[in-house]
Amino acid sequence: MSEWRATKARRVLAALLRCGWQVKRERGSHRVLARPGWADVVFAFHDREELGPRMLARIAKHTGLRPEDLQSLNQIQKTAQLHAAPVVGRRARRGLRPHVRPSRVSVGVSRICRRVGVNMPVGME
């Protein structure tokens, strides 16, 4: 059995960047990675693409990537998830109230009240 486990291309690229590789140029999903003392490597995978053990072994042969590099990334991601700030919506970041869509009944009642010239009933606002 291989020491490599299938993983997403995004995680492999993140591990390569942490190991000292840099994106030299990029066009679409093709990224040319460079590192001093190594030949340039073309990383031509979409971020969500699953890379199997055989492809990971080929990448490792050209880049010096080790299975431990991906495992340490797992531990970093788990730690980051524990300390992550809660996700806040765009309206909340701007200091606005969250958007609440009014029910169709209250919209209809408000139109009628405006047309007749009376105030909205309490509880229908």
- Mean pLDDT, the chain, integer: 80
What pLDDT score does 106 carry?
Answer: 61
Q: pTM for this one?
A: 0.59
Domain that holds residue 41: 7-82
Helix, strand, coil distribution of the chain in percent, nearest 5: 45, 15, 40
Instruction: List, for residues 67-91, the tens digit of each pLDDT value.
Output: 888 887 666 666 655 555 555 666 6
Contacts of 30 (CB under 8 A, 6+ apart): 42, 43, 44
Q: How many CB atoms lie within 10 A of CB 47?
A: 12
Answer whether residue 21 is part of any domain: yes
Element (DSSP H or E) covering residue 68: helix 67-82
Answer whether residue 32 is part of any domain: yes
Residue 50: pLDDT above 90? yes
**Do residues 24 and 39 touch, judged by C-beta distance below 8 A?**
no
Rounded distance between C-alpha atoms, residue 14 and residue 61, angstroms = 17
Answer whether residue 66 is part of any domain: yes
CATH code of 73's domain? 3.30.920.30
Element (DSSP H or E) covering residue 8: strand 7-8
